[in-house]
Amino acid sequence: MINIQQKIEEIVWSDYFESFGTAGKILRRILRYLYGLLRDIFSGELTLRAMSLVFTTLLSIVPLLAFSFAILKGFDVFDELEPHLSGVLAPLGDESGKLTELILGFVNNVRGGVLGGVSSIILLWTVLSTIQKVEASFNYVWYVSKPRSIARRFSEYLVVLVVGPVLMVSAITIIGSMGSNTVVQYLSDLPGVGTLLVIAGKFVPFLLISGFFTFLYMFMPNTKVKLGSALVGGLGGGVLWAAMAIIFTTFVVTATRINNMYANFAVAIFALIWLYLNWLVLIIGAQLAFYHQNPAFLRIGRQEPRLSNSMRERVALNMMALIGSAFRNGKTGVSTREVSVALNIPSIALTPISNALEEEGLIISTESEEMVPGREMSRIKLRKILEVVRVEGETGSYRDPSWSKEVKALGDQLNEALSSVVGEKTLTDLLDEHDP
C-alpha cells in the first residue's frame, strides 16, 4: 500500500505531464489538487469537523430557519420558497416533499411573539454559536488559530444572517422575473432556444450554491481570502455538490433494504447523511480555496509548522520591530497576517509567540485585532523579549529541574552570553539602528 502511495506521489509531483504540452500541465495541476484534497479527506480531520457541524446543525436548525425565514416573510417571497427548498432536498427522494412541507409548515407558524423575551436570546445565541462553529472549521483550513473577537463575532455574524436571506430573495426575484419576462417567453417559443433555456435553468441551483460557497469562503475565515481563490473554491464545491446530489439520489432510490429496515426512520437517516455530505463538500471547497491561494502547502499537506528555538527568538524580535516601527510611523497597529506576509511564515506559527508577548504585556491587541506596543518602547528591553519566547510553553512541574553541575554551569554561561550581546538595548534602540 505504501509503495502504491509513493508511486502515485512520484507521478503527481514529477514533470511527467510536461511532455503533453498545455493539456498535460492542466491535467497535472488538476491531479495535484485532487491528490491533495483526497489526502486531507482520508486523514480524517475534515470528516470529523463535518460530523461536528452536523450535530451543531441539529441543535440550531429550528432557530436558524425561524430567523432566516422570518426575514424572507418580511420580503413577501415566502410562497415562492417551496420549489427552491424542494430542489435542495430533492436527493432525499420521495420523502423530500413531506420534509419540505414540515419545514415550511413550521416557518409559516412562526410569529413575532415567539421570538420575544428569553426565547429570542436563546434563539440568537444558538444561531451565533453555529456560525462560530463554521468559522472555527474554516479557520482550521486556513491555519488561523485566533478567532474573531466577541464584538466582531456579534456584528459580522449578524451580517451573515441578514445577507444570506437577502441573497436568496434576490435570486428568487431574478428567477421569477426571468420566467415572466416577455423577451424570455418569446425566445422560449423559438425552435431549439426553448430547450437551451430549460437546460440553462437546470444550472441555476448550481450557480446559487457556488455563489453562496464563494461568499462564505470570502467572509467566514478570520483572514483575507482573495476573490479568485474563493471563486475557485466556490465553483469546485458547486461541481462536487452537483455530482454528490446525483450519486446520493441514486443511492436513496436503490437503497430498498434501508427503507425496509428503518421504515419511517429512513428519511431521518437519509437526511443526516445528506446534511453531513453538504458540510463535507463545504469544507472541501474551503480547502481547495486555501490551496489555490497558498500552493506551497499543496504538497506538504496539513503539517503544523514548527519553529526552532533560534527561529522563535528571531521571529519575536522581528515581530516587535514591525509593531514598533508601525506605531512610530502613526499606524494604528499591525495584524498577524501582515507579520506573516512580511516574514514569509504561516500565521499559525506566529500566534503562540504573539500570545506569549501579549501575556507579558509587551504588546496589546486592539478591538480590530491589530497589535500595538504594550508599553513605552524605550522600556521594552530586548532581553525581556528573548526571555519570553525562550521560556514560553513550560509547565510548572518543569520549572525546578535537577541539573547536573556541569550542565547548570554551561547553561548559566549561555544565558550570560546572550545578556552580554543584547545588554540593556531596548526596542527603541533597535528601531533607531535601522531608522536613525
pLDDT tens-digit map of 391-418: 765 655 555 677 888 888 888 888 888 7
Distance CA 320, CA 296 (A): 27
Extract the C-alpha cell encoding 26.
492542466
CA dihedral (194, 199, 205, 210) in degrees, to 10, reads -120
Per-residue confidence (pLDDT) for residue 120, from 0 to 100: 62
Per-residue confidence (pLDDT) for residue 323, from 0 to 100: 92
Per-residue confidence (pLDDT) for residue 280, from 0 to 100: 93
Fold of 309-393+402-434: Arc Repressor Mutant, subunit A (1.10.10)
CB atoms within 10 A of CB 203: 12
Spans in the chain with pLDDT lower than 70: 1-2, 62-100, 102-124, 158, 161-205, 256-264, 303-305, 392-400, 435-436
The pLDDT tens digits for 287-306 are 999 999 888 788 777 766 67
Per the DSSP assignment, residues forming a β-bridge with 371 are 334, 365
Distance CA 89, CA 278 (A): 11
Residue among 414, 408, 331 at smallest CA distance from 370:
331
Per-residue confidence (pLDDT) for residue 275, from 0 to 100: 86
Per-residue confidence (pLDDT) for residue 402, from 0 to 100: 79
Whether the model pTM is above 0.75: no
Distance CA 372, CA 9 (A): 44
Q: Where in the chain is the domain with CATH 1.10.10.10?
A: 309-393+402-434
Judge contact between 362 and 426, C-beta under 8 A: no
Per-residue confidence (pLDDT) for residue 192, from 0 to 100: 58
Chain-centroid distance, C-alpha 325: 31
Per-residue confidence (pLDDT) for residue 93, from 0 to 100: 63
Per-residue confidence (pLDDT) for residue 212, from 0 to 100: 84
Q: Give the angle 129-134-135 at the CA atoms, nearest 5°.
A: 95
Per-residue confidence (pLDDT) for residue 435, from 0 to 100: 64
DSSP 403: -
Judge contact between 87 and 321, C-beta under 8 A: no
Run of H or E residues at 376: none
Per-residue confidence (pLDDT) for residue 31, from 0 to 100: 86
